[in-house]
A and B are shown apart, each in its own frame.
Chain A
Amino acid sequence: MNELLIINSVLLFIFVSFYLSFTFSQELSRRDTFYGIYLEEQFKCNPVLKNISKRFKFESTLIFLITSLITIVYINIQKAAHNPLVIILPMIIQLISYFSVYIKAFKKVKAFKSVHQAASKPHSKTVIDTEFINEKNSLKKLFMYLYITPLLVTVGLMLYTFYNYSSLPNKIPTHWNYLGQADTWSVKSYGSVFFPSIMQLCILILLAVVTIGTFTSRIKLNTNTLEKSKSNALKYLRGIALSIYLIALSLVVTFCSITLAVLHGTNVSSLYTFTSLLGPIIGVVLMLYTFIKYGDGSASKNKSSNTYSPEDDDKYWLWGFIYKNPNDPAVMVQKRYGLGWTLNIGNKSGKVILIILLLFILGSLVMPLFFNYP
């Protein structure tokens, strides 16, 4: 009964966050795009576009209500809390339906634009400020140095684990309850002992790469208010990088405490449990604050950028969210739909990162189907 309650609340949480992030992405997007299409801001008051937006929100709400209701009713009637398919299948169905609703809106906006083409051409001029580039680069270096310590700690811990491996008992704890007491045990193997450290290393490297990519990605400045938009952009980048760093640090603490608990056969200290929750929460709050205060959707509240960069061109975008421009050396560019950045898959490094990410996602989806991981 208790488990059913947990699965219900987890599912509801996932469904609601899916719904919110899909439905309100447009509100968080760059000001000069509309459902993945480059469009000047003045058009957004157009009744045709407003209707497209309304229709989109109506349809995604419908999808959310119907799929969530069916899933939750099914789980509670069948008491199917143990079947991972029951969790994954509705998520996949939701993703596909949200996607098709988005594509519909995207196509409608595209049709609208082809009629009103003339007035929605991107700016043709670009302005590069080398001082700004230098400041960005020194921030990037600072954060690269900041990642050295957690990386060293991780590698050091792996060496320490390796050194102590032979003296470990045959049965090791692999899961702890919310009080930090071990409640599941596994047979000792390199896999079970090193699993947390390897996870820690992978996530740390991924977060470091994302941080550095953030500093490398283009930031468009507004030449009319150059100084202000420069300082805003730097605050934006600093905030994002700092919040990712906070999340990385709390992950390191969490995984380290798990590995240490395995090595010493002790409980996980509740202090660590606390940081493992608090760190990411502070990180996410800081990130959202930064996005809302300094992000492209809002920093440019007065005026969106007035310079050109290749990602303004519709021809490089597939469905308004996949960027492919082999001539652009940038690995990450600002998204058109939603917050954050996306990869340039026309670029070699972009392709490599995409494949790694896809493997990551595939792995985490397939793993629970094959292994009954506690």
Chain B
Amino acid sequence: MLIELDFNSQKPIYEQLYEQIILSIAKGTLKEGESLPAVRTLAEEIGINLHTVNKTYNLLKDEGYLSIDRRKGAIVNSLPITLKTEYEKELFAHLELLVAKAYLLGLKQDYFTNICRQYFEHFKEDLK
């Protein structure tokens, strides 16, 4: 798995890390059952506070992507992960915002849904 972070970005590092890990799981570069680097190791490697990495891992754990094992550290849960209703709501709130932006930018509905479909297909392929 390659993690790319931008220190000049407005987006906080923990959020960038969160997104990168989710994308890696979807793309299959981070497989189910695989363990992530230890919090300390990753923080040392990037040069950021341990709390930042901890925050990301906890966020991912709360949303069900990871589980924390005492021996193996953070492990990717089996896919698809069990969806919790509270996160389903959040997910659709994100989507609503995204569609609103697309709509205001004047994107065609077909075009938008087509791209969504393409992403789905891609991730399906990658996870095989």
Residues of A within 8 A of B (CB): 124-131, 133-134, 137, 216-218, 308-311, 325, 327-330
Assembly CA distance A289 to B5 (angstroms):
34
- Which of the residues B8, B37, B45 comes within 8 Å of A124, measured between beta carbons? B8
**Nearest chain A CB to B74 CB, angstrom units:** 12
Most buried by A among B4, B6, B45, B48: B45
Q: Are B44 and A131 in contact, with the CB atoms below 8 A?
A: no
Which A residues touch B5, using CB under 8 A?
A: 125-128
Q: Are A329 and B50 in contact, with the CB atoms below 8 A?
A: yes
Q: Are B45 and A128 in contact, with the CB atoms below 8 A?
A: yes
Chain B 17-32 interface residues, beta-carbon cutoff 8 Å to A: 30
Most buried by A among B3, B8, B47, B50: B47
Which B residues touch A310, using CB under 8 A?
A: 47-48
Which A residues touch B44, using CB under 8 A?
A: 216-218, 328-330
Assembly CA distance A180 to B47 (angstroms):
50
Q: Contacts A218-B45, A329-B44, A330-B47; is A126 near B1 (CB within 8 Å)?
A: no
**Nearest chain B CB to A122 CB, angstrom units:** 9
Q: Contacts A130-B1, A329-B40; is A124 near B7 (CB within 8 Å)?
A: yes
Q: Are A137 and B6 in contact, with the CB atoms below 8 A?
A: no
Residues of B within 8 A of A (CB): 1-9, 30, 36-37, 40-50
Chain B, residue nearest A121 (CB) = B8
Q: Are B2 and A309 in contact, with the CB atoms below 8 A?
A: no
Which B residues touch A125, using CB under 8 A?
A: 4-7
The 8 closest A-B pairs by CB, nearest first: A124-B8, A310-B47, A128-B3, A130-B1, A330-B44, A329-B43, A328-B47, A309-B47
Assembly CA distance A199 to B92 (angstroms):
66
Which B residues touch A133, using CB under 8 A?
A: 37, 41-42, 45
Assembly CA distance A310 to B30 (angstroms):
26
Which B residues touch A131, using CB under 8 A?
A: 1
Which A residues touch B40, using CB under 8 A?
A: 329
Q: Contacts A329-B44, A329-B49, A330-B47; is A130 near B37 (CB within 8 Å)?
A: yes
Assembly CA distance A134 to B1 (angstroms):
11
Assembly CA distance A311 to B30 (angstroms):
29
Assembly CA distance A142 to B1 (angstroms):
23
Q: Are A126 and B46 in contact, with the CB atoms below 8 A?
A: yes
Which A residues touch B36, using CB under 8 A?
A: 130
Assembly CA distance A128 to B5 (angstroms):
8
**Nearest chain B CB to A283 CB, angstrom units:** 27
Which B residues touch A137, using CB under 8 A?
A: 41
Which B residues touch A308, using CB under 8 A?
A: 7
Assembly CA distance A134 to B7 (angstroms):
24
